[in-house]
Structure 1
Amino acid sequence: MRFILLVFINACAVGLSIACVNFYFQHSWQHFIITFAISFAVSFFAFYYLFQRYIYSKIKLIYKLIHNLKLGKDLKDALGEKMSDDPINDVEQQVRDWAKEKKKEIDTLKEQEKFRREFLSNISHEFKTPLFAIQGYVDALQDGMMQDDPEMATQFLMKASRNLDRLTFLIKDLDEISKLESGQVPINYQKFDLSPLIKEVLESMEDKAAGHQITLVFKEKYQYPMMVRADREKMRQVFVNLISNSIKYGKPKGHTDIKIYELFETVLVEVTDDGIGIEEKNLPRVFERFYRTDRSRSRKIGGSGLGLSIVKHIIEAHEQTINVRSTEGVGSTFAFTLEKANG
């Protein structure tokens, strides 16, 4: 429609111009009308042919190419594809949409590049710290400490062993994340009661919690069966990581509460502590690998810095979601869903 309108306007302009020139010399309205009609007709068909041959057909091809690119089709299919009635307008819209998509892709790539640099920096630091410590202890032992001060040498060996354990822990967690991301770790779905699993994890972590003066709470009202469909061992890992995290960042004489709720076709699980909390600006990044909201305190507490990232990957591998809400100085709540088992 736009194409015909464009040709009509141009033909009118040419016809009117020629007719006005003719009227100037002839001073006859009859000649004006005849000249306008003939000029309009000739111009209309000339413009129609020229626009169709050299402009409109090219726009149609561009539209088809852009349309096929967006759909991921072979460009060779563009020539045989049916067109819309208004390709000029469609080309404009397609180009706008394409530009928006490309801008989003560029922004995403920039964000990923920033994340990659931070990740390389973090992983370098995480490995460098224990390696340098081990190197220092080994150098001291090689310098004759075993003979000069056996007791101190024994302490150095124990410290070197702890740093080796940290390196092993780091490598294990990195390997776990790599396998989860690539889909190499299968999710072994099974139907099981969630409550006994939570109690098992709490019992296994009582000593650690007591060492930090943290009370683990799972109220009696959750004694009834809460059947879910998930990988039981993977969910054990999720609870261990989340509860361990709440203990690390909890306050002395504080509490960690585990709560479960039925939510339509899912079960909602919340792990809540009353610890130091997380600044609002850090909330979007807490599940990133090696990201620590309080680096100085995190180094003293220990851990690989990969626990929450592993948790997120496990939950997402179950096609479920996890989120965090927190207030600095008040505490944090990590909430995730699981598929409810029928029957």
Structure 2
Amino acid sequence: MPIKLKRSYRFALRSSTIIALTSAFFLFCLQKYFNTLNFYILVTVALFLFGFSFIVLQVRIEKFIYRRIKKIYDDVALLESSSLSVDPITTDMRTLTAEIEKFAKDKKIEIDTLKIREEYRKDFLGNVSHELKTPLFTVQGYILTLLDGAMNDSNIRKKYLQRAAKGVDRLIYIVKDLDLITKLEVGDLNLEMTSFNIIELIQNVFDLLEMKALKKKITLTFDMDYPEPIQVYADQEKIQQVVTNLLVNSIKYGQDNGTTEVSVENLIKNKVIIRVTDNGEGIAESHIPRLFERFYRVDKSGNRAVGGSGLGLSIVKHIIEAHEEKIYVESVEDVGSEFSFTLEKSINEIDTIV
């Protein structure tokens, strides 16, 4: 197996050989010219020049290149020392080039990530201010009107205070959702895992939203009768919020005289899937990839007539992912939408099925 030399050694070896051979040839010509040809002297001088040249070249190359490469390492290390290799500094230009290219690639990815985060931050701040300013200005308007003299009229005073109270309630609703989603995103939300009947939970949400659904004449129903309980293992309060948010959305964007249907099906041995299906206006395919983003709205007109904080689906996604489960969405415009998510069955439920 041939010995693989360092590049600096190969360079010094080739250069020394060229110098020794050139010098030997020049000495040979001189000896030939003066008729004093002596091969012993010729070989001795050639070997001496080869060895001397090799040592000088190698030492000079090592020092010359090392100083400059070390300066490159030091300069780049000022940016972020942890990004560079902790191996000894090498004079191999291919290795150095590869390492610098890797450093540049990593920095480009980091810069691109920072740009995305900056855009996300700007969008978030813009959306928060947009969501908060409407109820704030509403409350401010009613209070200023009362202070300007309207408070002397008892009927107007009561009506305006009630409207201002609704604005405050909306502010509290948005702030609570912001606080919840912040905890979800930083993983600061502790789940209280218990075993409970998912059918009973859904029926409770139906009862809570009955009046809201009646206003649009929307029927909330199961796809079939569930005579037996289906026990799941999750955070009951958080899953109730998931079901509530999905049903509220189906009511908001559902057609009058429509239907929202919920089904609970066995997925695999230890999983169930809960489907919330409506025959509402549906969602265009182009919107689906961004549907779970904070404050993302399909309606770009800025209309807030349907209410809500714009965080409902984002909260749903984070709660489901906090349970290490999956959420899915399928929708067709003017046909309807189906949101579904998985949950783990409780151990007793699995044992019963087995």
Tell me the TM-score normalised to structure 2 length: 0.76
The yes-or-no answer on 1:272 pairing with 2:272 is no
Which has the higher mean CA deviation after the structures are superposed, 164-173 or 33-42? 33-42
**Aligned partner of 1:120 among 111, 114, 125:** 125
Task: Report if aligned partners of 2:217, 2:258 keep a CA contact under 8 Å in 1.
Answer: yes
Q: CA deviation at 1:294?
A: 0.8
Residue of structure 2 in register with 1:131 after alignment: 136
Tell me the TM-score normalised to structure 1 length: 0.78
Rounded to whole Å, the distance in 1 between the matches of 2:43 and 2:315 is 82
Change in CA separation of 1:56 and 1:161 when aligned onto 2, cut-off 3 Å? same
Rounded to whole Å, the distance in 1 between the matches of 2:220 and 2:126 is 35
Q: Which has more radius of gyration?
A: 2
Rounded to whole Å, the distance in 1 between the matches of 2:157 and 2:178 is 32
Change in CA separation of 1:169 and 1:46 when aligned onto 2, cut-off 3 Å? same
Residue identity opposite 1:313 in structure 2: H
The yes-or-no answer on 1:230 pairing with 2:243 is no
Q: CA deviation at 1:310?
A: 1.9
The yes-or-no answer on 1:288 pairing with 2:293 is yes
Rounded to whole Å, the distance in 2 between the matches of 1:320 and 1:86 is 51
Rounded to whole Å, the distance in 1 between the matches of 2:42 and 2:180 is 86
Task: Report if aligned partners of 1:228, 1:340 keep a CA contact under 8 Å in 2.
Answer: yes
Residue identity opposite 1:218 in structure 2: F
SS in 2 for 1:299: coil
Task: Report if aligned partners of 2:127, 2:295 keep a CA contact under 8 Å in 1.
Answer: yes
Q: CA deviation at 1:209?
A: 2.1
Rounded to whole Å, the distance in 1 between the matches of 2:331 and 2:48 is 79
Unaligned runs of 5+ in 1: none
Q: CA deviation at 1:250?
A: 1.8
Unaligned runs of 5+ in 2: none
The yes-or-no answer on 1:160 pairing with 2:173 is no
Residue of structure 1 in register with 2:244 after alignment: 240
Residue of structure 2 in register with 1:213 after alignment: 217
- Percentage identity across paired residues of the two chains: 40
Rounded to whole Å, the distance in 2 between the matches of 1:86 and 1:236 is 64
Change in CA separation of 1:14 and 1:339 when aligned onto 2, cut-off 3 Å? farther
Residue identity opposite 1:289 in structure 2: R
**Aligned partner of 1:305 among 296, 310, 315:** 310
Give deviations 1:275-330, integer Å, cap 9, x for gaps: 33334443343323322221447500111112122222222322334344444444
Give deviations 1:175-225, integer Å, cap 9, x for gaps: 222333444431111223333322322333233223223333422276555
SS in 2 for 1:335: strand
Which has the higher mean CA deviation after the structures are superposed, 159-168 or 48-57? 48-57
Q: CA deviation at 1:231?
A: 0.6
Task: Report if aligned partners of 1:287, 1:308 keep a CA contact under 8 Å in 2.
Answer: yes
Rounded to whole Å, the distance in 1 between the matches of 2:119 and 2:27 is 74
SS in 1 for 2:255: coil
Residue of structure 1 in register with 2:28 after alignment: 26
Change in CA separation of 1:25 and 1:184 when aligned onto 2, cut-off 3 Å? closer
**Aligned partner of 1:204 among 204, 208, 214:** 208
Q: How many residues align?
A: 332
SS in 1 for 2:340: strand
Residue identity opposite 1:341 in structure 2: S
Residue of structure 1 in register with 2:110 after alignment: 105
Task: Report if aligned partners of 1:7, 1:47 keep a CA contact under 8 Å in 2.
Answer: no
Change in CA separation of 1:119 and 1:49 when aligned onto 2, cut-off 3 Å? same
The yes-or-no answer on 1:176 pairing with 2:189 is no
